[in-house]
Amino acid sequence: MILFAIIACEIGFWIAILAGLAARYLAGRPRLGAALLIAAPIIDVVLLVLVAVDLLGGGHASWHHGLAAIYIGISVAYGHRMIGWADAKFATRFRGAPPRAVLSGSAYTIKCWQDVARTSVAAGIAGAILYGLIYFVAAPARTAELEGFFQVLGLIVGIDLIWAASYTLWPKRAPAS
């Protein structure tokens, strides 16, 4: 059930974003667009409540619950940036705004290190959710599966660190004009 909730929330997240941007750019209704964009973080709260209710109601933790925690962490840490990216694409397509510049060199390296900070925030949020679920359920036999996700979070941050370090040592080249 939780896997389907994660999939439904991910689909709902992007539907809310696309509907908000369509209302803003295609229908010329910026307030409606803003209201629809606000629905995206509300979807994360719904998923968190579903996960908590499932475990507090006697369910056994599975990888789906851990995945939900990671999804929520990433959505909170990167959600604003994903919406900004989609907004820029819509503005370019429907309003004739210039496309975003392609980053290279030190600008791209700085962005990579900012992503390390964002990924660390996402891992911190996911870790706090996992710890909260383990603590409040207070049944080690039912939440043992969640403990392995702390290593996954460390791996995710580690990969992002390696990515940023590689672009520090070998900066991204500017695209050929």
Domain extent at residue 93: 2-169
Q: Give domain status of residue 176, yes or no.
A: no
Cα angle: 94, vertex 17, 149; to 5 degrees: 140
pTM, whole model, 2 decimals? 0.88
Alpha-carbon distance of 29 to 66, in angstroms, equals 38
For the residues of 160-174, what is the DSSP string, one character each? Answer: HHHHHHHHHHSPPPP
Does the residue 125 lie in any domain? yes
Q: Residue 70 domain-assigned?
A: yes
pLDDT band of 175, cuts 50, 70, 90: confident
In a domain? residue 177: no
Per the structure, the count of domains in the chain is 1
174 in a structural domain: no
**Residue 175 is assigned to a structural domain of this protein:** no
31-88 pLDDT per residue, tens: 999 899 888 889 988 999 988 888 888 888 999 899 999 999 999 999 889 889 999 9
Query: What secondary structure does DSSP assign to 24-71, as a single string?
Result: HHTS--HHHHHHHHHHHHHHHHHHHHHHHHHHHTTPPP-HHHHHHHHH
pLDDT tier, 98 (very low <50, low <70, confident <90, very high otherwise)? very high
Q: How confident is the model at residue 176 (pLDDT cuts 50, 70, 90)?
A: confident
> Does some domain include residue 18?
yes
